[in-house]
Amino acid sequence: MGFVAPAGDSEHNNIDFPFGLNEFADHEQVCLGRDPESGFTGFVAIHSTALGPALGGCRMVPYASGADAYRDALRLSQAMSYKNALAGLPHGGGKAVIWADPATQKTPALLTAMGRFIATLQGRYITAGDVGISVADLDVIGAVNPWTTGRSPQRGGAGDSGILTAFGVWQGMRAAATYRWGSDDLSGRLIGIEGVGKVGRRLSVHLVSEAGARVVVTDPSAEAIAQLQDQVDVSVVSSRDELLAMPLDVYSPNALGRVLTADVVATMSATIVCGGANNQVAGHDVPTMLAAREVLYAPDFLVNCGGVVQVADEVIGFDFHRARARVAQVYDTALAVFARADRDGISPLAAATQEAQDRIAAGSQPRFASSTQSAVPRE
Question: How far, in Å, CA of 120 to CA of 125, rounded?
Answer: 10
Question: How far, in Å, CA of 22 to CA of 146, rounded?
Answer: 32
Name residues whose C-beta falls within 8 Å of residue 181's C-beta, 6 or more positions apart in sequence: none
The SS3 of residue 239 is coil
Question: How far, in Å, CA of 240 to CA of 207, rounded?
Answer: 19
Q: Tell me the β-bridge partners of 225.
A: none
Question: How far, in Å, CA of 298 to CA of 306, rounded?
Answer: 15
The SS3 of residue 231 is coil
Question: How far, in Å, CA of 40 to CA of 158, rounded?
Answer: 27
The SS3 of residue 154 is helix
Instruction: With beta carbons less than 8 A apart as the criterion, state whether 193 and 252 touch.
Output: yes
83, 95, 106, 198: the catalytic one is 95
What Rg, from alpha-carbon coordinates, does the chain have? 20
Q: Please indicate whether residue 95 is annotated as part of the active site.
A: yes
Among the listed residues 309, 367, 371, 357, the one whose alpha carbon sits nearest the alpha carbon of residue 50: 367
Among the listed residues 147, 123, 130, the one whose alpha carbon sits nearest the alpha carbon of residue 60: 130
Active site residues: 95
